[in-house]
Amino acid sequence: MSNGSFLPISIIGDSSTGKTSLILQYTSSEFRDNMTTTLGIDYFMKDVKGFNGIDYTIKIMDTAGQEQYHSMSLHMLKLCKGILLVYSITDKQSFENLESNWINEINEFIDIKNIPIILIGNKKDLEMERVIDEKIGREFAQKFNLKFFETSSKTGENVNRAFEELINDVIKVNVEKKDSKLDENNDNINNDNNLNPSIQLNKENFHNNKEKKKKKKYC
């Protein structure tokens, strides 16, 4: 493990969308047909070199999608500098839950417009079972000003690209911060004055979502 700056990111989304498999593919180039269900929160580490030539240690927080862990997963986001939000292109419910169960809820815990988030439509290799068109996923991402990739943790398609894009966005945001230090767990990232405009989310959409949000209890 290098002594690079520490950079915590998180992966969230419904259960069985392939979150743990994406991490496994990214960190070890592996895929398993029978994954053990994640309970609570797991951690994975990977050393990377940023686009700026600096070494970073990425800590990927893997969360459980089940309802009993939903609140815990969201609380944990406060510690993270970037988020991968995952649905499965073969699971309509996981796509429909993006807005109601995830984006609206995330917005309650963190200043969502200032943190890099990448939307992932996973299981791209299962074309025959696809129920969410790529165009629909892309339009959803545009609505919230998120970057978007369709990936396959099985073949590895786009997996590294999605992680690297997130990591580089996180580095850009933090480099732009005055007195930035990635390994300090401060909230300067949420300062409007230090935003990278390319990752700003559509404030109006989030505002509307917040108003529309129905109160739910998960724990």
Q: Give the one entry of ligand GDP, Mg ion, none that residue 17 binds, where binding means its C-beta sits below a cut-off of 5 to 8 angstroms depending on kind.
A: ligand GDP
Chain residues in the site for Mg ion (CB under 5 A): 19-20, 38
The CB-nearest residue to ligand GDP is 18
Nearer residue to ligand GDP within complex by CB, 14 or 165: 14
Cβ 116 to Mg ion, closest distance in Å?
22
Nearer residue to ligand GDP within complex by CB, 114 or 158: 158
Cβ 42 to Mg ion, closest distance in Å?
8
Q: Give the one entry of Mg ion, ligand GDP, none that residue 82 binds, where binding means its C-beta sits below a cut-off of 5 to 8 angstroms depending on kind.
A: none
Q: Which stretch binds ligand GDP (CB under 6 A): 16-24, 77-85, 166-174, 188-196?
A: 16-24
For the CA atoms of the chain, what is the radius of gyration? Answer: 16
Q: Which stretch binds ligand GDP (CB under 6 A): 17-25, 137-145, 169-177, 196-204?
A: 17-25
Site residues, ligand GDP (CB under 6 A): 15-21, 32-33, 35, 38, 65, 122-123, 125-126, 152-154
